[in-house]
Amino acid sequence: MSNRAALPSSFRDPSGFLFAEDGSLYRQVNQAYRESYDHLTGSGLYDALTDSGSLIRHEEVALELARTDEAYRVLKPEVVPFVSYPYEWCFSQLQDAALLTLEVQKKALDFGMTLKDASAYNVQFVWGKPVLIDTLSFDRYHEGQPWAAYRQFCQHFLAPLALMSYTDVRLGQLLRIHIDGVPLDLASSLLPHRTRLSFALLSHIHLHARSQKHFAERTVDVKSRKMNRLSLLGLLDNLESAVKKLKWQPKGTLWSDYEEEDSYSADALDQKRQLVADLLDQVQPRVVWDLGANVGLFSRLASNRGIPTISFDADPGCVERNYLESRRKSETNILPLLIDLTNPSPAIGWQHEERMSLMERGPADLVLCLALIHHLAISNNLPLSMVADLLAIICSSLILEFVPKTDHRVQRLLSTREDIFTDYTQEAFERTFSQRFEIQASVQLEGSERVLYLMTRRRT
C-alpha cells in the first residue's frame, strides 16, 4: 500500500489516513475498513456519538478526491481549531480525555462495536470539550473478545494520571518522551507502595507490568481464552472508577497561588484590562495566543469576545485552575495548555513528523505577552533580540507589557543574581523590538513604570 499522501500523524492505520488538499483536511477510508465503517454509520452509533459531542462530525465527499485506489469513502471531518497533545494538558484535561474514551467504548458496545485504539492522541479539545477525532477507531465487537485497546488505555491514560496524582504532577511530561504512553514497568517503579492497596492500581498497573514481563518470552495460546461481555463491562467500569478516583489539587506549584492583583492596585489592574480590551477591539484578531497566561485573566478578554484563544502557561497548577474555570463556565473559546516557552513542544515521533512542534501550529494573529518579558530576559538570560525574533515568528500583532528594572518584581528577580543585564532598559527594548515590529501605541500603566505596547510585525 502506498500512503505517501497521508499526513504523518496517521500513517500507522491500514483502515485509512488523513490528507490535506487546498487547505482542507480529508480522511480516506480504505476498502479494508468498509464493513466497520458501514456498521458505524448504519447502526446509529455515529449519530449517537456525534449528537452527544463525543465524536467529531464529518461529511462524506466525492470519492474522486481519494488519493489511492483502495479508497472506499472520502470524509471531510470538522476542523479542530488547534491541535494539542497529552503532554500539553493539565491533570483534569487528561482525566476528561480518559473518561471520554471509556464512555465512547461503552456506547460502542451498545451498538455492537468496540474501540481498537485508546490513544490519547485520538482525543482533541474542540470548543472546550474533549472529542474523539479518529472515526476509524471502531471495529465490530464479537462476543468473547477482550478489549484490544486495554494496554494502550493503561499506558496513555491510567499510568500518567496515577503518576501525576500520587507521585508528581510533572511526570505527565513522560508522555513527551514515550509516544505510545508511559511504559507500565516504569510507572510501577515510580508509584508509591501505597498504590498497591488500591485494587485498580494494583491490577491495571503493578500486576499488569509484572504480567508483561512474566509472559514476555512465553508462548501462550491466548486466542482460545474468551472474555464474556459482563467481564468486559466490569473491566470498563473498574477503569472508569479508577480514573475518577484519581485527584490532583493545584497547591504548592510556583505560580498557582500567584494573584495578578499583587503587582497592581485595583485601579491599575482595571486600567490594564481596559487597555488590553481596547487594543483587542482595535486589532480584531481571529486567533490569540496568550503567553504566560497564569490562570487566564487576560486570555478571557479575548475568548469572551468570541476569539479562539490558546492560554499557555508553564505551571501545571495555573493550567489546571484555568481549565477547571473554563469547564465550570462551559467556555468554548479558551484552551489552556501547559507550555514552557523556553522549551516549547518539539516535533516528535517518526522522522519528527508524527506530532507537530508548537511553532508548526502557529502563527497566531495576535500574541499577548503580559508581564513575561522580564522572566525571559532576566530569569532565562535571553537577549531581547532573540525574544523579538521568536515573537515575530509566532504572531503578526503583539500586545506586550514591558516591566522595567526598577519594578519591584524585577528587583526581586535580581536580588539573588548579579545584574549583568545592562541592556535591559526601555530604550534598548524599543530599539531592539523596532527591528522586527512597528510600535503602534504605548501607554504607561497607572501607578507603575510598566508600559503596555501594541506592535505589528514588519514585512520582511
Using the contact rule CB under 8 A, the part of the chain among 35-43, 105-113, 209-217, 386-394 near another protein is: 209-217
Residue number with CB closer to another protein (245 or 329): 245
Q: Which residues on adjacent β-strands are paired with residue 73? A: 29
Indicate which single residue of 27, 116, 156, 204 sits in contact with another protein (rule: CB under 8 A). 204
The binding track of 121-160 with respect to another protein, each residue x by CB under 8 A or -, is -------------------------xx--xx--x------
| Residue 368 and residue 276 in contact, taking contact as beta carbons nearer than 8 Å | yes
Smallest gap from Cβ 159 to another protein, in A, equals: 12
* Site for another protein contains 220 (CB under 8 A): yes
Interface residue with another protein, options 14, 215, 257, 444 (CB under 8 A)? 215
Q: Judged by CB under 8 A, does residue 210 bind another protein?
A: yes
Residue 62 or 230 with smaller CB distance to another protein: 230
In single-letter form, the type of residue at position 351 comes to Q
- Mapped onto helix, strand or coil, the DSSP state of residue 283 is helix
Burial environment of residue 224 by CB neighbours within 10 A (0 to 12, 13 to 18, 19 or more): exposed
Is residue 238 close enough to count as binding another protein by CB under 8 A? yes
Residues sharing a CB contact under 8 Å with residue 405, sequence separation 6 or more, in sequence order: 411, 414, 419, 421, 424, 425
**Hey, which residues between 172 and 201 contact another protein (CB under 8 A)?**
184
User: Contacting another protein (CB under 8 A), which of 194, 218, 251, 286?
Assistant: 218
Give me the least distance between CB of 209 and another protein, in Å please: 8
Question: Rule CB under 8 A: is residue 222 a binding residue for another protein?
Answer: yes
DSSP, res 346:
P
| Residue choice 109, 191, 235, 410 for contact with another protein (CB under 8 A) | 235
Burial code (b: 16+ CB inside 10 Å, e: under 16) for 198-209 equals bebbeebbbebb
Do residues 157 and 243 make contact, with C-beta atoms less than 8 angstroms apart?
yes
Shortest Cβ 184–another protein spacing (Å):
8
How far apart CA 90 and CA 161 sit, in angstroms, is: 10
Nearest distance from C-beta of residue 239 to another protein, angstroms: 8
Set of cell numbers at residue 309 = 484563544
> Which one-letter amino acid corresponds to residue 134?
D
Identity of the residue, 126 or 232, whose beta carbon is nearer to another protein in the bound complex: 232
Site for another protein in 72-111 (CB under 8 A): none
Is 203 a binder of another protein (CB under 8 A)? yes
Question: CB of 236: closest distance to another protein in angstroms?
Answer: 8
Give least dist CB 248 to another protein, A: 24
Q: How many residues bind another protein (CB under 8 A)?
A: 32
207 binds another protein, rule: CB under 8 A? yes
Alpha-helical (H) ranges within 167-259 are 174-177, 184-190, 199-201, 208-214, 229-245
What number of other Cβ atoms are within 10 A of residue 394's Cβ?
A: 19
Strand order in the sheet with 24-30: 16-21, 24-30, 71-77, 58-61
Q: Find, among 304, 332, 299, 333, the residue nearest to 318 by Cα.
A: 299
Please report, as ranges, the residues that interact with another protein according to CB under 8 A: 146-147, 150-151, 154, 184, 203-204, 207-208, 210-218, 220, 222, 225, 227-228, 230-235, 237-238
